[in-house]
Amino acid sequence: MTSRERFLAACRCAPTDRVPAWVMRQAGRYLPEYRALKEKYDFLTLVRTPELAAEVTLQPVRRFAQLDAAILFSDILTIPEALGQGYSFCESGGIAMDFILDSEEKLAALGAAADVPARLDYMAQAMRLARAELGEGRALLGFAGSPWTLAVYMVEGGSAKQFSKIKRLAAEAPALFDALMEKLADAVAASLKMQIAAGADAVQIFDSWAALCTAGEYENLSLRWIRKIIAALPAGVPVIVFAKGMAHLAPQIAATGASVLGVDWTHKLSDIRKLAGTQLALQGNLDPVVLSFSDEKIVRERTREILDDMRGERGHIFNLGHGILPDARPENFAAMLDVLAS
Amino acid sequence: MTSRERFLAACRCAPTDRVPAWVMRQAGRYLPEYRALKEKYDFLTLVRTPELAAEVTLQPVRRFAQLDAAILFSDILTIPEALGQGYSFCESGGIAMDFILDSEEKLAALGAAADVPARLDYMAQAMRLARAELGEGRALLGFAGSPWTLAVYMVEGGSAKQFSKIKRLAAEAPALFDALMEKLADAVAASLKMQIAAGADAVQIFDSWAALCTAGEYENLSLRWIRKIIAALPAGVPVIVFAKGMAHLAPQIAATGASVLGVDWTHKLSDIRKLAGTQLALQGNLDPVVLSFSDEKIVRERTREILDDMRGERGHIFNLGHGILPDARPENFAAMLDVLAS
């Protein structure tokens, strides 16, 4: 079984020879080869230059022979930017959107969702370059933020603490909220279709701000837009939904048409399996901080615990419960993969 | 039924004439009368001056006749401070502990748990003053942070982003971690016993950082210390455990001896009831941001939705899913209580 076959089989809950693995933000700051590039180019230059984005995408699969998938190096905020709402990074590490999206006028001034693929052509180019060098042996993933998660950034104007603006807009100006979500769902669908056409085997939708929603409003504020996106994608391409803090709503998330649910570390995967049944593959869920520990033995133990919890179950893709941390040790990453392969 | 009787009956899952209510951080910045005091005294002066702390404790029950309980105005970090690790507030709003607790030496230098009640006598005094003015008509609550949540602040040295230090300590120096937790459990138990002796009818343990734990390690890192605390308290005094982001582990949390589980807004209370059975009372869980909305009609609708979800069930204490926000509107608070009472 090639890595690509293994990964795609797991997405379908079909048998695999071992559990496949990739890691959220695996192309990133914990890698010395990434930091070397980052000394020469800023983050957005890396994202927007196809050759550089492809290079960064491939760094982890070059280093780790047992890694089953690469994921395009990019950023979820490329979509707001392609629609006309740019952004930058603050000194403090937070994100600042160029303006706060808080009116019909500002929504009307955004570009059309149909123009997003042309504006994000650098992503398609990077995907094609990565695919060409990767070959068919390993899986290649595309991704986007969920409409809800993108709307949080756009309406809050960047990183936020209380998230009052987005929740007030959704509750008090539902027509404006729905119009924004409609545009974002169309834009995300267009971006993901473009990424699939350029070589992505599967795509992940990051609903990083899922847990801002109440259980009762999650369907209306987020899931129905994810369902719309999935319905627009070519049949047979697996969609992973990472719903941070909301995996306990697995049956509802499965009803969007997602093939795989990304689970954070606050759940045992076997508990989610009991909730959601055997047709939804599960992805996760090692606590990212474990890869920053100095004791490799703990990395191996914690990895084994997750494998043991899902032993005998089909449809498990190993991953962290959230993105890898900048101080993660590449040796730990290798030890984790070693446990999976042994 | 008095408010106090109603509140205590709900804690025992006994019948009540209506759902009782209080609100996390109800004594706080959203109240003009609190802000007026805050112009004259800083936060820690308010906390440490019995007359002022009692006054702030009583402000919300004076304003809102239908509020069933007052909660002592204080801070969870009074315990680290009483043990010898002081703290201050940064300009940015974060918390800075006076040092990082990262060695056996620093742990050994902390004071004894047995001395905590004497050092926190100002809390006992404030509780007695509040009790005297409140009378027996309304419930009065004490509280503390969970050992895990306190340890997070002490080991991280204040507000943190990645929480690597506390997780590394727990994993790589388990004897030091356990010794710290033992001391904190004893200190929290001593503080809660003191608050109960001074007039608290019930106590809440805030496990605000619960969701930093994985599902598998939550018992070992947090719940077993909460169990130890509850075992040390006088029988019959209800203990509320607020386990933010971990309510899906309700059966495990109930096994600590807690009477009430505080639930955030990511769950329907009826779903947690199905998980945990009818012997565990549930507290929650309106999204705090709703009290900041300008449309009072939405406040009433959302409050009714939560009541409807638990209609016919015993053992529901109405509250928010987290602390009230500084920009909450007192009129909304009143409207919420009005729905509960009508």
> Long-range pairs for B256-259 at CB < 8 Å and ≥24 separation?
B256/B223, B256/B226, B256/B227, B256/B230, B257/B227, B257/B230, B257/B231, B258/B205, B258/B226, B258/B230, B259/B11, B259/B12, B259/B202
Chain B interface includes A268 (CB < 8 A): yes
Q: Which two tokens stand for residue A262?
A: 């990304």
Contact (CB<8Å) B266/A214: yes
Read off the pLDDT band of B266 (50, 70, 90).
Answer: very high
The neighbour count for residue A155, using CB atoms within 10 Å, is 24
Q: From the list A211, A245, A295, which residue is nearest B172 (CB)?
A: A295
Chain B neighbors of A215, CB-CB under 8 A: 265-268, 271
Those residues whose C-beta lies under 8 Å from the C-beta of residue B270, and which sit 6 or more positions away, are B309, B310, B313
- Res. B205: pLDDT tops 90: yes
Residue ranges for chain A with pLDDT beneath 50: none
Q: Which two tokens stand for residue B36?
A: 């007026």
Contact (CB<8Å) B266/A211: yes
Strands B95-97, B87-89: pairing kind: antiparallel
* Smallest Cα distance from B166 to chain A, Å: 10
Report yes or no: A327 and A286 within 8 Å, Cβ to Cβ. Answer: no
Residue by residue, DSSP assigns B234-297 as PTT--EEEEETT-GGGHHHHHTTT-SEEE--TTS-HHHHHHHH-SSSEEE--B-GGGGG-S-HH
CATH number at residue B112: 3.20.20.210
- State the angle between helix axes of A50-63 and A32-40 in degrees (0 to 180), rounded to the nearest 10: 160
- Global pTM reads 0.96
Contact (CB<8Å) A214/B289: no
Tokens 């070959």 found at: A135
Read off the pLDDT band of B161 (50, 70, 90).
Answer: confident
Once rounded to an integer, what is the mean pLDDT over residues B261-275?
Answer: 98
Chain B neighbors of A170, CB-CB under 8 A: none
Chain A neighbors of B152, CB-CB under 8 A: none
Contact (CB<8Å) B294/A172: yes
Specify the number of domains making up chain A. Answer: 1
Out of B83-92, B280-289, B312-321, least confident range: B83-92
Contact (CB<8Å) B294/A162: no
Read off the pLDDT band of B120 (50, 70, 90).
Answer: very high
Dist CA A102 CA A86 (whole Å): 15
Contact (CB<8Å) A266/B327: no
Q: From the list A164, A290, A292, which residue is nearest B289 (CB)?
A: A164
Residues β-bridged to residue A96: A88, A158
Please tell me the predicted confidence (pLDDT) of residue B290.
97
Q: Report which secondary-structure segment, H or E, holds A40.
A: helix A32-40
Mutation target to probe the A interface, by most A beta carbons within 10 A, among B152, B166, B220, B289 is: B289
* Smallest Cα distance from B257 to chain A, Å: 22
Dist CA A110 CA A98 (whole Å): 13
Please tell me the predicted confidence (pLDDT) of residue A69.
98
B128-154 tens-digit pLDDT:
999 999 999 999 999 999 999 999 999
Q: Which residue of A lies nearest to B218 if distances are taken between CA atoms?
A: A266
Please tell me the predicted confidence (pLDDT) of residue A161.
84
Q: Which two tokens stand for residue B243?
A: 């386990």
* Smallest Cα distance from B110 to chain A, Å: 27
Q: From the list B211, B245, B298, which residue is nearest A171 (CB)?
A: B298
Which of residues 211 through 250 in chain A touch B, CB cutoff 8 A? 211, 213-216, 245-246, 248
Once rounded to an integer, what is the mean pLDDT over residues B213-240?
Answer: 98
In A135-173, where does DSSP find H-type helix? 147-156, 164-172
Contact (CB<8Å) B248/A268: no
Contact (CB<8Å) B298/A265: no
Q: Report which secondary-structure segment, H or E, holds B34.
A: helix B32-40
Per-chain mean pLDDT for chain A: 97
Chain B interface includes A163 (CB < 8 A): yes
Q: Report which secondary-structure segment, H or E, holds A224.
A: helix A224-232
Radius of gyration of chain A (CA): 19
Report yes or no: A150 and A177 within 8 Å, Cβ to Cβ. Answer: no
* Smallest Cα distance from B34 to chain A, Å: 20
Q: Which residue has the higher pLDDT, B93 or A280?
A: A280
Chain A interface includes B308 (CB < 8 A): no
Q: Which two tokens stand for residue A62?
A: 């070059």
Contact (CB<8Å) A292/B171: no
B8-66 tens-digit pLDDT:
999 999 999 999 999 999 999 999 999 999 999 999 999 999 999 999 999 999 999 99
Chain B neighbors of A298, CB-CB under 8 A: 171-172
Please tell me the predicted confidence (pLDDT) of residue A2.
97
Please tell me the predicted confidence (pLDDT) of residue B160.
87
| Interface A:B, Cβ pairs < 8 A | 94
Domain assignment of residue A280, given as a range: 3-341
Dihedral sign for Cα A181, A187, A188, A189, please: positive
Report yes or no: B261 and B252 within 8 Å, Cβ to Cβ. Answer: no
* Smallest Cα distance from B85 to chain A, Å: 26
* Smallest Cα distance from A211 to chain B, Å: 6
Contact (CB<8Å) A164/B248: no
Contact (CB<8Å) B266/A248: yes
